[in-house]
């Protein structure tokens, strides 16, 4: 078996390679003069694990090329971050269901797929091969434990994310709640934990994705007003577009951490253990 990594998943792929004791296939990435992508993988074997986060359209193409390069082997695709997954419904006529389009394209040439904390697990049905979701909530919980906060309160940004937050909180037996939006007037909205008082608490807001940081920045400002002592943020996929990191710091968030599913300078948490365990537990390994 060999592991192929596309260009934006090299650190995580290397960590998975160490955990599974499976070598990485050396891969050369270049472009043709017209900008089209090219890759060449050395020393492929009869089984290939392709590790590729779809962080942008280039990485989607690179993943398709990697799958095709390994067409003579049995392929497993690990998609730590599945871009396009948030458009998982048709909201207006004439729109694509982007999650479905991407899942269908990626299913071709692979035997099975693994994704990490996909926005809506229902989107896994769009793959035409067996596809599993791997959660790194326990790894985020261990990260929170390492922050050495006093009696932290774990908050989900909305009710839909409470299960993930509860899995994080379970690591330390911490309190857990979700943030509820209440409209005070036409212009004024209040965001506060549904049941637990944030006053005097060290708060950690956990989410699957931080993109623009807008959701968390608004919540952080209001939690401060409610008397939270400190506010931290931890997410799986740190997309962090348009100055999100600085926006969050400016909103009073003391620490921001994400995982290596979307490699960047705040990727302090690794998904490698959880992915390696899911692969080895799978009957086809
Ligand atoms: C939404 O349902 C997701 O779970 C995240 O809360 C959302 O994608 C975060 O987006 P942003 O950082 O742009 O507020």
226-273 pLDDT, tens digit per residue, is 999 999 999 999 999 999 999 999 999 999 999 999 999 999 999 999
How would you class 43 by CB atoms within 10 Å of its CB: exposed for 0-12, middle for 13-18, buried for 19 or more?
Answer: exposed
pTM score over 0.85:
yes
Distance 38 CA to ligand 1 centre (A): 33
Q: How large a percentage of the chain has pLDDT more than 90?
A: 93
CATH number of 137-260: 3.40.50.2020
Question: Nearest 5°: phi and psi at 41?
Answer: -105, 135
Average pLDDT over the chain reads 96
Q: Is the model's pLDDT at 284 over the cut of 70?
A: no
Distance 156 CA to ligand 1 centre (A): 11
Indicate if ligand 1 lies below 6 Å from the C-beta of 211: yes
Per-residue pLDDT tens digits for 178-230: 999 887 887 777 889 999 999 999 999 999 999 999 989 999 999 999 999 99
- Ligand 1 pocket test: which of 210, 236, 240, 241 has the largest number of ligand atoms within 8 Å of its C-beta? 210
Q: Is the model's pLDDT at 87 over the cut of 70?
A: yes
What is the arithmetic mean of pLDDT over 79-84? 98
- Per the listing, tokens 């359209």 go with 57
Separation in Å, CA 92 to CA 23, 83, 143, 254: 46, 20, 40, 39
Give the fold, CATH level 3, of 2-135+271-281. Rossmann fold (3.40.50)
Indicate if ligand 1 lies below 6 Å from the C-beta of 212: yes
CATH 3.40.50.2020 maps onto the chain at 2-135+271-281, 137-260
- Which contiguous run of DSSP H or E holds residue 68? helix 57-69
Distance 208 CA to ligand 1 centre (A): 8
Indicate if ligand 1 lies below 6 Å from the C-beta of 239: no
């Amino acid at each position: 078996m060999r592991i192929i990594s596309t260009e934006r998943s090299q650190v995580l792929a290397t960590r998975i390679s160490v955990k599974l004791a499976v070598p990485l296939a050396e891969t050369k990435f270049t472009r043709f003069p017209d900008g089209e992508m090219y890759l060449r993988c050395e020393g492929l074997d009869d089984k290939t694990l392709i590790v590729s986060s779809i962080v942008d359209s280039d990485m989607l193409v690179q993943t398709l090329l990697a799958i095709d390069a390994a067409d003579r082997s049995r392929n497993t695709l690990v998609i730590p971050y599945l871009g396009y997954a948030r458009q998982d419904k048709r909201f207006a006529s004439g729109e694509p269901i982007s999650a479905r389009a991407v899942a269908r394209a990626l299913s071709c040439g692979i035997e099975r797929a693994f994704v990490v904390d996909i926005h809506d697990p229902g989107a896994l049905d769009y793959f035409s091969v067996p596809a599993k979701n791997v959660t790194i909530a326990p790894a985020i919980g261990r990260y929170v434990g390492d922050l050495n906060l006093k009696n932290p309160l774990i908050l989900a940004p909305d009710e839909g994310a409470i299960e993930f937050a509860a899995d994080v909180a379970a690591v330390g037996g911490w309190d857990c709640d979700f943030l509820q939006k209440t409209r005070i007037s036409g212009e004024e909205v209040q965001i506060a934990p549904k049941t637990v008082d944030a006053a005097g608490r060290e708060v950690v807001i956990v989410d699957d994705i931080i993109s623009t940081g807008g959701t968390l920045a608004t919540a952080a400002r209001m939690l401060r007003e409610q008397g939270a002592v400190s506010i931290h943020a931890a997410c799986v996929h740190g997309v962090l577009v348009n100055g999100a990191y600085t926006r969050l710091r400016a909103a009073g968030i003391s620490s921001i951490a994400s995982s290596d599913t979307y490699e960047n300078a705040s990727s302090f948490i690794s998904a490698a253990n959880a992915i390696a365990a899911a692969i080895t537990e799978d009957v086809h390994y």
